[in-house]
Structure 1
């Protein structure tokens, strides 16, 4: 098992990519803390891990609140003794409107959850990773953090920020044996795409807008996150791995 004796935190672990990642980590031997603001989803993920004999806890967490991120990390280290992997995955979308029509409050909320939370996760995880002798941080960006899309001003900006924040942290903490990478998923079968799926005109186009002509699954993204968290990626840091079926080249 690739993550035996490792302790990991996965934010947004109550559904989608976060849930698949938490389960994948547990199956590979990690002790996992599931963090999510959705208690029902978080507890469901916890139950799925325990059903297969994995070791995990769930902590309800608002990832834009620094005190709750500190508490998340403190409970994790007091429960499991250390921290080796931090997955900053929680994220949201927003209304599909032109930037001039996007409410300022909605912009702020997207930035807080998609970008500030990654900053907080890095800020408070790094000291514990140093205590553990190093580790890995994986941040969830997006295909739309690498290319623009109309009506996605805040999402584009927040996810692009994750890419550069990842590079910054990789440069700052490489000397501490901490690798920091990002993933950039394309259209993945999660709750965030429900609005697109309901659009009978757009969905046939969006769902095939990549080289593989299909959407991805959360498990496929979790496989990429597992790779970046594992020793198999020991010489990879500061990178953003596209998991988009070729969407960036389309």
Structure 2
């Protein structure tokens, strides 16, 4: 009998932000595919509900209260997973804070600082804490995967969405964390995938839709069901995707953004091959400054 490559039987996953939204959807999908799941969040009631949904469906799960900004609490997530279920094979980093709506000068800077503390520092902190456990798993010969939950905002500034400058900036930073994590995990056996959904019918988005006929008309035609996004996320994770984009609505603006970047870079003069410090091989010895540190 051929092993089903979409199943995760015997694997162990940790999921931050698993009490609601996309984080909950991914936790449920991982549980449905056979993984034992440790759900973490600061919403204890929501986290317990996610665990109950997994176990009621015949899966295995536990909940740990953890703030992504708190390294001690994040370590407890890993320790709980290891002690109750075994080595962590999959880590999902999903964070959410505030709505980030408005143009740059319209934001309250205290709100922006708080949002960045969760989105940027929280994501970095989680990878910092979960990373060594994933490396240990990979060294033992098992699969080890990291999934960062970004957004279409991680790939540019969506023209079809109202101005949300703080949110866009924070989610764009997730791309940077994903790229540096991919570089840092090179050679360890740990894969890194960035999920970039557009509108998802989470509880929060559905509340937004219900609040205004105008918003409903703007959002609903493009929104995707949480379960579909979660399924795409896990499929992409198992394929080892660099980026898992889920919604065709983002295609045009992301391509346009990439084209603008390429146009600017291609205006630079070509230099001799011997002068290239970074040739795409990942050979850090070719960096002209690394030898000075």
Task: State which of 102, 109, 125 in structure 1 corresponds to 2:107.
Answer: 102
Q: Which residue pairs with 1:118 in the alignment?
A: 123
Between Structure 1 and Structure 2, how many residues are aligned?
Answer: 240
Q: Which residue pairs with 2:279 in the alignment?
A: none
Q: Which residue pairs with 2:256 in the alignment?
A: none
Q: Which residue pairs with 2:228 in the alignment?
A: 220
2: CA distance between counterparts of 1:27 and 1:196?
29
Secondary structure, in 3 states, of the residue corresponding to 1:148? Answer: coil
Shift of 1:196: 5.2
Question: Is residue 2:225 matched to residue 1:187?
Answer: no
C-alpha contact 1:163 1:240 (8 A) present in aligned 2: no
C-alpha contact 2:233 2:244 (8 A) present in aligned 1: no
Gap runs ≥5 in structure 1: 209-213
**Larger C-alpha radius of gyration, 1 or 2?**
2
1: CA distance between counterparts of 2:156 and 2:131?
29
Shift of 1:70: 1.9
Which deviates more, 72-81 or 183-192? 72-81
Runs (4 or more) in structure 1 with deviation over 4 Å come to none
Could you state the TM-score of these two structures normalised by the residue count of structure 2? Answer: 0.76
Q: Which residue pairs with 2:247 in the alignment?
A: 244
Secondary structure, in 3 states, of the residue corresponding to 1:124? Answer: helix
Superposed CA offset, 1:188-216 (max 9, x none): 101332335423223312333xxxxx310
Could you state the TM-score of these two structures normalised by the residue count of structure 1? Answer: 0.89
C-alpha contact 1:88 1:117 (8 A) present in aligned 2: no
RMSD value, Cα: 1.8
Q: Which residue pairs with 2:211 in the alignment?
A: 198
Which deviates more, 240-249 or 15-24? 240-249
Which deviates more, 80-89 or 221-230? 221-230
Superposed CA offset, 1:106-163 (max 9, x none): 1122112222222112111111111112511000111122222553111101111111
Mapping of residues 4-153 of structure 1, within 5 Å? 4-133=9-138, 135-149=144-158, 150-153=162-165
Gap runs ≥5 in structure 2: 254-293
Which deviates more, 180-189 or 66-75? 66-75
2: CA distance between counterparts of 1:175 and 1:127?
13
- More RCO (CA 8 Å, sep 6+): 1
